[in-house]
Structures are given as structure tokens and as C-alpha cells.
Structure 1
Amino acid sequence: MASTLPLRFNSRAPEVLSDPYPVYAELRASGPLSRGGPGQWVVSRYADVVPLLRDRRLSHEYPPEYHEFSIGDGPANSFFQRIILDRDAPDHTRLRRLMAKAFSPRLVQRLHDFIERQVELLLAPGLEGGLFDAVTELAFPLPVMVVCELVGIPPVDRDLVRPHAIQLAKAFALYVAEEDRASAHAAVAWLREYIGALLEERRRDLGEDLLSQMLTAELAEEPGVRLSREEIVDNTIFLFFAGFETTTNLIATSCAALLGHPRELARLRADPGLMPTAVEEFLRYDAPIQATARMAVDEIRVGERTIRPGRVVVLLLGSANHDEERFEAPERLDVGRSPNPHVSFGGGAHHCLGAGLARVEAQVALGRLLSGALRFEPAGEVVRIPSVTFRSYASVPIALR
């Protein structure tokens, strides 16, 4: 039975930013719903999170007033009202159908060879020198290279674009701190100008990248297919950000998990065929994206409580992945865990478009790293980036040979 006074989840509490999993366990034990920020309900149990990810009574679209409250006035407000992440059908269906072409099996296979070449280049200095930072030398640069290749950003511009995409990450917090708002808005403005200019270049010379495909759709005459210039620009920006943020976190958290679990590391090194199931376990064990939010548009009953329309519902993906009722010994890393029905890529119509590509990048990067290094041991203290939305690292130092 739910408690009379549900626990309150403070997403910015130091203990949550440091290690949210003990707090998640308290939330799950206290009842199906917890209080969040103003007008927020927080859902922590797997049995509730999974159906709510698919529930049409929860909307991805927020009124402009919500964005203004969350991030303040600026370019990021209209950005969130255009991107596929925050659109419902039929707009979401239209955008997803077009953007899915960028993640076709044929294109992912083509990128597989590109990923392998980049991994070899990125790992070479660490394997030769013996010291390696999994974040700065692999987890961060690799996904950026891949998503730039996917989108069509020229190699010469990649270091220029990357810092602005990092600043954009601040806008995706459950609540954006006052000190982060200006830089988030500035990132949107800069990226819009850059992608807009790149789009005009593509008009004169179409290629096979995502920008070219979306531009072709903009020029199409079929009703319900046409994209506006603003939709193309903002969704390209979102794809660029999402394409490296999740995968960067996945590779970094995977390396950190292996350093902390030498037996599972030895097991994976002894049986490289476990890599696909290992990557699924890394996704579950320390989900790159910890939470997602929706807006209730109708009454929803969760346990003994009713969520009223207009309330924000925060679904704790990281907590659902550690639910004792669904996963045996969820706090234990098991690189051979199967089945592993984690929710790290969301669910329903909004299931992550780039999930397949992220898995390929992680499998190739980790496989080559483990096969090429005779040692794989901690070389210093790991440094986390405080965030409740993302599980991010600034540094994961490793000793290799």
C-alpha cells in the first residue's frame, strides 16, 4: 500500500548526483509514486515505468510556459517545441519516418567499417604508451566522429561544433539551473546558424548524409511529408547531440564498471563472444540516460494515486533497471545476463532511433580495447560529471600495456 505521504525525490541532492541507486531503492520501497519538483510525480518501479513509456495519456509535448519555467526565455524554447523528442503523433510519426532512414541497416553497416578505423586510430597512443583516459581519448571523440559522419558535418568543422553541443546538454536536465541557462540558449543559437549554413551548401550539392535526406523531404510535394527549414535545422541539432551524448556515456560507464568488477572483466576477456550481452548489461547497470519526463493529458491511476492532467511525470529509467522485482540481484554486474529487458533506450513510439548504432559503437570500441590491452586496471580516480539526467564521466583513467 502506498504511504500517506510519499517520499520526495530531489534530483539535485548531492547523494543523487553522486550515486542515485540507493535513493532509487528507497523510492521503490516507499510506493509506486514519489513527489518531485513543482507539479511533478516520479515513477521508480519497473512494472509502472514500462507501460507508462507507451501510455498515450502521457504526452511528449509541453506548453511554451513549461519550457520558459524550466529553462527561461530564449532560443531553446522553440527548439524543444520542434524536435522529435518532444512531439506527439502525427508530427512525431512524420519526423521519425524520415529520420529513421539515417539509421537503416545498410547505413549502420557502412558506418561499421568507419567505426573500426576510428577506434584503431584512437586507441593506438594508449596501447603504445600504457596510460589511457577512456573518456577523453575514446568515449568522447569516437561518437562525435560517427555522428558527424552521419549528419554530414565536415571533418574540418568537428572540433568547432563539439563544444556547443556539450553546452546544449545542459538544456536537457529535468530542471535547468539558473547558471546554465544562458549557455544552453547560446548553444542553440550558434548551432542553428551553423547547421543552417551547412543546409544551404547541401541544397547545391546533395549527398547521402542525414541533412541531404531531410532536405530531399523538404523539397518533396507529398502531403504530410514536407519538412520546414526550421524542423530540419533543429532536428539535425538534436540528432547531433543525442548521437554522441548517449554513446559517450555508454562507453565511459562500461569502462568504469569493468574497472570496478575485475572478475567480470576477466570473464569478458576470456570469452569475447559475450560482448553483445555485456553491452546490454552495461546499459542496464548504469543507464546512460537515467530519466525521461512526460506531461499527463488525462487522468492516470498509478497504485492508489491519481495523476491529474497537467502534471509532469518523471520516469526513472535507471531505477526501473535496478528493480528487484524484475531483475535478479540487480546491483550485481553480470556480463552474461540474459534475458535483460532494460529500458535504457526508452520504449513505445519514442524508442531511441540510434539504439542500434550505439550498440555497434560500444561493441567495437570495447572489443578492440580489451583485445589489444594486456593490462586493464585503474590508473587514478574516476571523475563524474554531476547530473541526474545523464550518467556522465569527465575522466576514467586506465593503465594499459
Structure 2
Amino acid sequence: MTPAPLDLTDPAVVADPYPAFARARAEAPVQWHEGLGLWLAFTHAEANAVLRDRRLGRIWSDKAPAERFGSFNLIHRNAILEMEPPDHTRLRRLISAAFARGHVERLRPWVEELAGTLVDGLVERSGGTEPVDVLSGMAEELPVAVIAELLGVPEADRALLRPWSNAIVKMYEYGRTTEIEDAAERAAEEFVAYLRELAADRRKNLGEDLVSHLVSVRDAEGDKLTEDELVTTCILLLNAGHEATVNVSGNGLLALLEHPDQLQRLRDDPALLPTAIEELMRFDSPLQLFERTATADVEIGGITVQQGQKIAALLGSANHDPAVFAEPGTLDVGRTDNPHISFGAGIHFCIGAPLARVELQASFGALLSRTSRLELGRPARRRPEFVIRGLRDLPVVLTA
């Protein structure tokens, strides 16, 4: 059993995990991590297998004690992300049917207009001399506004969403404090109560938003979402959807600012934007680790994951595997051979991926088309968490 030499609490690893990943990949594709009590898959082939092998499932276990985490458990017990077939198949079919009503294309012009407005505000505040925080000024605002618009959350309530989401996702980190856990449960409880009210309103007043479609969707057998499933789906869309998009925006823009040749290449050829977005997702992945539990003994990378044991795909490590990506440490906005797994793989592939791509193309497109110069105003600060990888702030000087 090769132990993984990876300390996820080491500030150097949190700041830049990729050298540690490279050292580990050279040792063995799958390694045991004593501190986490699970296997880690470091290579692309093995991480991909972890995500696709149906003997490795998302098996939700309620956080204990149950009375302390009632709402947090509710929003995971009913989440498509925590289910396996046949429950997953049924729920994904219903959600996909609601999504299929053209929501992504309906929102595209609105998203592009909002991105332009946010960038114009940043440019005005910066004036080509003052650094302004692109993270709070655009990266955090855009995806929350988009999810709120998608769900039909009234304008007056939209400021509630991000604090709820921020508190909940901190539960996915290792080494949590009691305060973090209490804040996550409180946020989950408030969010659930809010969405129950919103769903009740939509049942009486159907609109063109996703909540209306989730309320009314039926499959061929007449099956529909339960209220808990509907509430959970909306929370998952916000938590997974906006956290990833915020962090691709922050990590990706920082990468471009640190590679001015690639930033200029993108300015010179805006047609590269779609491939650039995929490369930014690969180069510094917004989600670094995703767990699975073995429902039977599974052999992966020369080791056996025994029934009941956990194994995690290290997405950032897989996305830097030189067996799959030529010069993985090089940022290449024109990279076309790019099978990154930042959106996951298999039956749990991110259902919101098309919307995320629209948001990212709109925000980076607006940043490039509405400025003549972008430069780092002072060093960006990174958040201290490993699993969800992102920045605290990103001070940039923007010139119109």
C-alpha cells in the first residue's frame, strides 16, 4: 500500500497543489491517504475510471447527529449528485426535461448583456490606474444573478443566495470547525424554507422560469418531482453552478494575467474563446477532489478498493497528467485535444455544464472586448481550502 505524500493542510499545497500531484503520479496512479482514510486516484485514466465505474457510487450517509443536521441532510439525501440508478435515472430524466425547455439559449443574450454591464462598472471604477476586485465585482455577481434569473428568484431576494451557498459548501472541506458546521446547517434550513415558499408561489402562478417547469414537469409515466427533490435540485444548481463558475473565472483570469502572451493571443483571436474556457478549466480546476464509495470490490490502478471503502478522483491532478495532455503545465488557450474532467464524467457529468460555458464565455468575452489592457494590481489572495479551489480576491487594473 503506497501512502500518498500529500498534506492537504500544507499552505504550500493549497497554494499550488500541482507539483505535489506530479510527484505522487510518479510514485503510483492510486495511493492510500491515511489522514483522509481513503484512496486517491492521481492519473487521468484512474480518476476517469473512478467517475465512470458503476461499482463506485455516490452513497449518501446522513451527517450525525441527525437532529443537528436535519436540513443539511435533507438537501443531500434528495440530490441527484448523491444518487445512483434507478433513483438517479428517474431524477435526471425529470430535471433534464425541465432544462430542455430552452433555458440556456433563453438566458444567453441576458447573460452577455449583464457581463458587459459588470465589466463597464469595473472599468469605470479602475480608470486604468486603480486596482478593483474582479472577483466581487463580476465573478461572484454574474453566476448568482444567472442562477437567480434561471430559477425566477425575485430581484429583492437575490442577495440572500450567495451567503447561503458559501456557508453550505464549506461543509465539503476537511478539518471543519463546529462554527462552520452550525453555519452550514443554519444556511441550509433558511434556504430550504425560502425555496418551499417560492415553489408554492409558482404552483399558483406558473411562469417561464425553471422552478415553474420543475413544479409542472411530468414524465411519460406521470411521475413528478417531490417537493424535497425540487428544493434540493434548486440548491444544488446554485451551489455547484455558481461555486464552480466563480472559481473558474478567478483562477482562469489569474492564469491569463500570469501568462500575458496567452491573454494577448486571445485578444488577437476572439474565436479561441471556447477552447480557452476549456483550457482554463483544465489548467487550474475549480473542484479538486470528488469522492466515491465502493459497492463491491473494484480494482483500479493496480490496487483493490474493498467494498465500503472510499476512493476520490483528484480532478486537478488528472487534468495535469502528461500521459494525456502535452506539456500539461503550459497554459495553451488554443489547446484542442483537451479531455479534461472538471465537469465530471459518466452519469454524474454536470447537468449545468452548457449554462456554465455560456456564463464563462460571456464574462471573459466582455473582459476582452471592453478593455484594452488588464493587469494585476497587486498579488491575488487564495482561499485556504483545498477541495473547492478559488481566490479570496483578484485586484486588477482595467483600461477602457
TM-score grouping bracket, smaller chain normalisation = over 0.9
Deviates more, 1:174-183 or 1:117-126: 174-183
**1:179 to partner: Cα distance:** 3.6
Contact kept, 8 Å, 1:50 with 1:343, in 2: the verdict is yes
Contact kept, 8 Å, 1:61 with 1:81, in 2: the verdict is no
Counterpart in the other structure of 1:6: 3
For 1:99, the aligned partner's letter is I
Counterpart in the other structure of 1:109: 105
Counterpart in the other structure of 1:348: 346
**1:330 to partner: Cα distance:** 0.5
- Counterparts of 2:344 and 2:162 in 1: how far apart (Å)? 25
Contact kept, 8 Å, 2:122 with 2:134, in 1: the verdict is no
**1:399 to partner: Cα distance:** 0.9
- Counterparts of 1:152 and 1:161 in 2: how far apart (Å)? 13
Q: 1:377 to 1:70 in 2, by over 3 A?
A: farther
- Counterparts of 2:367 and 2:146 in 1: how far apart (Å)? 18
Alignment of 1:104-143 (within 5 A): 104=100, 106-129=102-125, 130=127, 131-143=131-143
Length-normalised TM-score, structure 1:
0.93
Aligned with 1:315: secondary structure? Answer: strand
- Counterparts of 1:348 and 1:167 in 2: how far apart (Å)? 28
- Deviation string, structure 1 residues 101-157 (Cα, Å, up to 9, x no partner): 454383211111110111122111222232432201110000011000111111110
Counterpart in the other structure of 2:273: 275
**1:226 to partner: Cα distance:** 2.3
User: Does 2:59 correspond to 1:61?
Assistant: yes
For 2:123, the aligned partner's letter is L
User: Does 2:21 correspond to 1:24?
Assistant: yes
Deviates more, 1:336-345 or 1:176-185: 176-185
Deviates more, 1:255-264 or 1:31-40: 31-40
User: Does 2:379 correspond to 1:395?
Assistant: no
Contact kept, 8 Å, 1:375 with 1:400, in 2: the verdict is yes
Counterpart in the other structure of 1:93: 89
Q: 2:230 aligns with which of 229, 232, 239?
A: 232
Length-normalised TM-score, structure 2:
0.93
- Counterparts of 2:172 and 2:256 in 1: how far apart (Å)? 28
Aligned with 2:102: secondary structure? Answer: helix
Q: 1:12 to 1:250 in 2, by over 3 A?
A: same
Alignment of 1:305-316 (within 5 A): 305-316=303-314
Aligned with 2:182: secondary structure? Answer: helix
Contact kept, 8 Å, 2:50 with 2:311, in 1: the verdict is no
**1:74 to partner: Cα distance:** 4.0
**1:347 to partner: Cα distance:** 0.3
Alignment of 1:291-370 (within 5 A): 291-370=289-368
Q: 1:332 to 1:251 in 2, by over 3 A?
A: same
Contact kept, 8 Å, 1:17 with 1:387, in 2: the verdict is yes
- Counterparts of 2:6 and 2:97 in 1: how far apart (Å)? 39
Alignment of 1:254-273 (within 5 A): 254-273=252-271
Counterpart in the other structure of 2:183: 183
Deviates more, 1:29-38 or 1:5-14: 5-14
- Counterparts of 2:145 and 2:219 in 1: how far apart (Å)? 33
Q: 1:298 to 1:246 in 2, by over 3 A?
A: same
Deviates more, 1:270-279 or 1:124-133: 124-133
Q: 1:86 to 1:134 in 2, by over 3 A?
A: same
For structure 2, the 5+ residue unaligned runs are none
Contact kept, 8 Å, 1:32 with 1:44, in 2: the verdict is yes
Q: 1:149 to 1:136 in 2, by over 3 A?
A: same
**1:32 to partner: Cα distance:** 1.7
